[in-house]
Amino acid sequence: MAAKRILVTGADGFIGSHLTEALVRAGYTVRAFVYYNSFGHRGWLDDSPAEILGDLDVFAGDIRDPNGVREAVRGCDTVLHLAALIGIPFSYHSPDAYVDTNIKGTLNVLQAVRDLGVTRLVHTSTSEVYGTAQSVPITEDHPLQGQSPYAATKIAADQLALSFHRSFETPVAILRPFNTYGPRQSARAVLPTIITQLLSGQSMLELGSVAPTRDFNYVGDTVEAFLKAAETDGGAIIGDVVNIGSNFEISIGAAAQVIAEVIGVEAEIVSQDQRIRPPDSEVERLWADNARARERLGWEPAHGGPEGFRRGVAKTIEWYRQPENLMRFDAGRYHV
């Protein structure tokens, strides 16, 4: 495995940092593409164990810059492309940033992969590209509907990736994770919002809409899917899309109750207007059909179903409960 060099874009982020650590532990030679900043911060990788960082080749750059992307890709056999802007509310007032990062950034990766002869590119999609479910569980053949600027840019990036495969035989596979959660996730996501408010002692839980359902996937399961995508015979997934979900849906309100039960508190939910998406932009229902992941990747979630969700939530709460972790999050402020 050490002879196989893997580039992870977005390695400084929530999922990317977990994935980067898992790849190093699995014996791969890993180059971690992190967002350049003048402080030299490497995002969540700064919290990685010293033995992980010592084995990492860290490349600081900007996914929007084709020259830097090309240099990062050079010499790598496999690229796992996770770099993206993902906050939906932020996409309402700054859509240009999403076009530049999610579409142009993906184009830069595709061009570099094609020109430099990379043997596999795994591109990261999102369940938001489906919009509100028209049928459930959602298969990979479900129609696509951009209900936010974020979702629209991810649809465009996915289609660009598939077009390179069809036009140039670029070895692209697309993983489409449903709502990943776990340690290190930003408080702009709903489960960390709930957890940090309750752990901070708030009895009035401030949320947006609580009726929409989601298919929550523990981060360890999402990472395992990427590992399998990097290892599996290419013919099984190249040129295709694979859902990564737990095949279990739960409403935001019900998820909040599970979290409160695990923490051991009672909470009253208060809906705030600023946290509610525009009606036609809210994705009301997401529930993954993960049959293709089981068949093509040999992957299935270790945290599926109600019991698995509760276990994943317990692990997540335990991480946020640590004072050094909880202090990173301002539970009293709405994070866009």
* pLDDT at residue 147 tops 70: yes
In a domain, 198, yes or no: no
Residue 117 lies in a domain: yes
pLDDT of residue 241: 98
Q: Is residue 204 part of a domain?
A: no
Say if residue 3's pLDDT is above 90: no
pLDDT at 73 over 60: yes
Rounded to whole angstroms, the Cα distance separating 183 from 191 reads 11
Tokens in use for 325? 């972790």
Domain presence at residue 254 = no
pLDDT (0 to 100) of residue 1: 52
pLDDT band at 336 (very low <50, low <70, confident <90, very high): confident
What band does 317 get if pLDDT is binned at 50, 70 and 90? very high
Look at residue 102 and tell me whether its pLDDT is greater than 70: yes
State residue 212's pLDDT score: 97
Quote the distance between the C-alpha of residue 221 and its chain's center. Answer: 11
User: Lowest-confidence range among 49-63, 265-279, 296-310?
Assistant: 265-279
pLDDT at 333: 80
pLDDT band for 224, please (50, 70, 90 cuts): very high
pLDDT of residue 2: 52
Domain range enclosing 235? 5-181+217-248+284-304
* 296 pLDDT tier (thresholds 50, 70, 90): very high
Domain with residue 48: its CATH number is 3.40.50.720
Mean pLDDT of 33-52: 97
> What is the average pLDDT across 242-261?
97
**Look-up of token digits 């004072």:** 323
Total count of domains within the chain: 1
- 212 falls within a domain: no
Q: Is residue 274 part of a domain?
A: no
- pLDDT band at residue 74 under the 50/70/90 scheme: very high
In a domain, 267, yes or no: no
How far is residue 4's CA from residue 6's CA, in Å, rounded to a whole number? Answer: 6
Q: How confident is the model at residue 93 (pLDDT cuts 50, 70, 90)?
A: very high
- Residue 92 inside a domain? The answer is yes
pTM over 0.85: yes
Query: How far is the CA of 261 from the CAs of 190, 258, 292, in angstroms?
Result: 17, 5, 34
Average predicted confidence (pLDDT) for the chain:
96
